[in-house]
Chains A and B, each alone.
Chain A
Amino acid sequence: MSANLMDGFSRKAFVFVLVPGLVLTCLSRPCPAKDKLNVVTTTTNLASIAEAVGGNHVSVAAISTGQEDPHYIAAKPSFMLKARKADLWIRVGLELEIGYEGLILEGSRNPKIHVGTPGHLDASQGIAPLEVPAGKVTRSMGDVHPLGNPHYWLDPYNGRIIARNICRRLAQLDPAHAGDYDRNLAAFNLALDQAMFGSKAVEAVGGEKLWKMQSDGSLDSFLKDHGLAPDGWLGKLGPFAQAKLDTYHRSWPYFLRRFHLDDFAELEPKPGIPPGPAHLLDVINTMDAQKARIILMEPFYNRADAAAVAEKTGARVVEVATAVHGQPQADNYLDMLDNIVTRFSAALGEVSR
């Protein structure tokens, strides 16, 4: 009896697991020899910068599409598959990926990208985080990040720091092409500087000095003294310095601070908590009192909330992606920032007429 049962079971086990397993084993093949470093990033922004710095020597993939909320990415098995072949894993850091990174790294069976190895890079190294909570952090504060606001890539200058971090790590993993990575980094920085300040200013004094002056507030007078008009992103947003606006989520402090803009309220009552009618009413009253006429939001949030506020206040909703491929115009990191500046400055221009 038992022998019959086992025979039956063996056949079924063969059908259910062993046959597919054996077939797959036979079909499996070793990975072909590769001549490029495999880089896998959590976000498309990091992927874009890694592509710019790595050039022809890297193959880059992001686990996200750029359209989703980067806080809520599910640890799909297919992401583990991507991470499995990675030579370098790059994360945003500041606990943005805390909900899924551990599962993906563990599921990847790839020890060389574990935290603490050369194959794992936290791109936030060297960034000065904003909004680091003081004192005890609890969930009553919403989805706060104890290490600081993680949306730092929206400050263009931090794009330089990310690129530098990637460049150094690529050079460490692939010293033979370190020179190429350095050259690519210089080209990326130049393109970023020109987008930020305009070509003439960069040619006149160089990007480093311009960033310095922009930080200490002396840039405007310097440009005036040298007969240079503000250009680039700074030229577009400069006229609206101190403009007041509202945002959906607290994603924008780095961007707004760089361009001297003022975010005084969010549609979310607390980070990650969807707005209710009472809070929206408060926002409407505050926007009216502050004469704020812009609501800045990412496309993955509910536009209906913003539209309801806009209808009561006459504000304009600017829906703009904060990730590469989040909108058709955001093809790479510079285009993503350019898309933000263009849409935002156009809306500011319209409401200030």
Chain B
Amino acid sequence: MMQMRTLGCNLRLAAVLLCAGAGWTGPARATGTEQPSLQEQITRLRQEIQDANDRHAAQIRRLQDQLDSLRQGTAEANEPAATPEPPAEQTGDHGRNAVRDTHPTGFNPDISAIGDVLFHTGKNEDGENENQFRFRELELALGAAVDPYGRADFFVSLEEDQDGEFGVELEEGYFTFDTLPHDLKARAGKVYSAFGKANQFHLHAMPWVNKPLVIQNFFGEEGMSEPGAELSWLVPNPWEQYIELIFQLQDNRNASSFADGRSRGLMYVGHLKNFFDLTSASSLEVGGSVATGANAARGEDHRTNLEGIDLTYKWRPPQQGLYRSLTWMSEVLLSQKEQGAEDPVDSYGCYSSLEYQFSRRWSAFGRYDYSQFPDDNEAHENAYTGGLTFAQSEFAFWRAQFTHTDGGGAEVPGSRNEFFLQLDFGIGPHRAHQY
């Protein structure tokens, strides 16, 4: 920089000297017989000044290049000794990269906020017509390494109910032990039950406005997330395939299928996840799930048992991956719920969903739902859903969805049509959810 200033001064000095020189030589030349005209002298001087300017501009450019080169090229071959050495040879990437993996504000966790605004028109679940805007959820996500043994993640949800009142709920909050031996991983805290796929979706990660009816009817509108502990094992196998076995012990608080906190016993969930890469563009996931727990007050030996199968096929050609993708996802859930002295209610539900991305920002989706109820296998609902999603960026999307539902519980028979318009937007570095 100092050199550039000096050059600038030199440039001005050169111009002054040239002008002064012209002034000094002018009278002497005026006495000669072959004196150039004044106009020629001016032209020549202009040319000389221009040449000087060009020379100095070139010098400045060269210096600028050298400066840039020095900035980059302390790494360059000409001065290998000055090249920053890979730090911490003995301990890995500590030092510079430890800083890189940390937020600029030091030990602060990654903090994200995701808002979800929904407009709904049509009949609601109670059979009433409504036109309503709702700030459905503000999800606050915090996550960071706790110590060398694991990390913590919290997802706090502020939700607006039908009456416009906001409530706070811990959607998930857990410590992940990710340094366990023998291909094990454990989580403790409040986590979504690992039953199938759709139950574990956060609102902003769903390909639809709302969860499938079978999830809503058997686990609640937002799915089943309870305090507890989880152990998962990545099963070594001779086929070199991804096979994960998950076992969860959770508090028995789910009101739809289980005891709503009235039982002293726990709820047990098991899930087997198999993932296969069919080609570099496509994959298939096949999962099996079971859950069991009491569904009545303590002292009564009434249980609910659930079994499920999930299938997910994904296609995303690598080279066209920004513009084309397809996801087909289906689940079946079977339930056996004891009801006092009566026979247990055997009920079931299922859904099948197809989502196709046909451009960088647009995708279309459709879903078919069928669901009975945990306490009633004579009533059922059918729903047909279709819609469009417009992702204006990675961090915000709009979604329009139409749903036609037939049937329903004993209280709300008949059919209804609903239209939803959703805006979902987030700030912060909230990392992607599981594939």
Contact = CB atoms under 8 A, between A and B. Distances in A.
B431 interface: yes
Nearest to B247: A17
Contacts of B431: 98-99, 102-103
Contacts of A273: 393
Contacts of A111: 178-179
B298 interface: no
A1 B176 contact: no
Contact of A168 (B86, B234, B237, B292): B86
B325 to A, nearest CB: 9
A21 B235 contact: yes
A116 interface: yes
B303 A125 contact: no
A67 B320 CA distance: 9
Given A84-B234, A125-B96, A217-B65, A143 B394 contact: yes
B28 interface: no
Contacts of A207: 77
B358 interface: no
Contacts of B283: 76, 78
A127 B100 contact: no
A164 B76 CA distance: 12
A29 interface: yes
Contacts of B272: 16-17, 20-21
B115 interface: no
B424 interface: no
Given A93-B100, A103-B432, A128 B71 contact: yes
Nearest to B183: A109
B369 interface: no
Kindly name the residue among A76, A169, A208 whose own CB sees the greatest number of chain B CB atoms within 10 A. A76
B69 A302 contact: no
Given A116-B92, A125-B87, A217 B62 contact: yes
Contacts of A281: none
B141 to A, nearest CB: 13
Nearest to A122: B97
Interface stretch (B31-39, B238-246, B415-423): B238-246
Please tell me the size bucket of the interface on A.
35 or more
A213 B101 CA distance: 35
B322 A12 contact: no
Given A17-B289, A109-B234, A212 B84 contact: no
Nearest to A139: B395
Contact of B321 (A16, A72, A80): A72
Interface in A43-92: 64-65, 67-69, 72, 74-78, 80-81, 84
Please tell me the size bucket of the interface on B.
35 or more
A17 B270 contact: yes
A5 B427 CA distance: 48
A106 interface: yes
A147 interface: yes
Kindly name the residue among B76, B270, B289, B309 whose own CB sees the greatest number of chain A CB atoms within 10 A. B76
Contacts of A13: 270, 290, 292, 305, 307
B302 A2 contact: yes
A12 B305 contact: yes
A160 B77 CA distance: 9
A241 to B, nearest CB: 12
Given A115-B101, A217-B65, A77 B323 contact: no
A78 B275 contact: yes
Contacts of A103: 431-432, 434-435
A215 B83 CA distance: 14
Nearest to A78: B277
Nearest to A94: B100
Interface string B71-113: 1111111111001111101111110111011001000000000
Contacts of B394: 143, 272
Contacts of A109: 178, 180, 183-185, 234
A31 interface: yes
A25 B91 CA distance: 35
A76 B242 CA distance: 10
A130 B71 CA distance: 9
A300 interface: yes
A272 B391 CA distance: 13
A14 to B, nearest CB: 9
A24 interface: yes
Interface in A134-150: 139, 143, 146-147
A295 interface: no
B319 A300 contact: yes
Nearest to B346: A8
B430 to A, nearest CB: 11
A211 B78 contact: yes
B3 interface: no
Contacts of B66: 216-217
Contact of A122 (B72, B100, B243, B343): B100
Contacts of A117: 92-93
B316 interface: yes
A300 B324 CA distance: 11
Given A99-B432, A109-B178, A125-B97, 12 more contacts: A9-B336, A16-B270, A18-B270, A27-B238, A76-B275, A109-B234, A115-B97, A119-B92, A126-B85, A130-B72, A209-B78, A216-B78
Interface of A: 1-2, 5-6, 8-9, 12-13, 16-18, 20-21, 24-25, 27-31, 64-65, 67-69, 72, 74-78, 80-81, 84, 93-95, 98-100, 102-103, 106-107, 109, 111, 114-122, 125-128, 130, 139, 143, 146-147, 157-158, 160-161, 164-165, 168-169, 172, 207-213, 215-217, 257, 272-274, 299-302
26 contacts: A1-B338, A9-B303, A17-B270, A24-B235, A30-B236, A64-B318, A67-B318, A67-B319, A77-B275, A78-B277, A84-B234, A93-B97, A103-B431, A106-B151, A109-B183, A109-B234, A116-B94, A116-B101, A120-B92, A125-B86, A168-B89, A211-B78, A212-B78, A216-B66, A272-B394, A300-B319
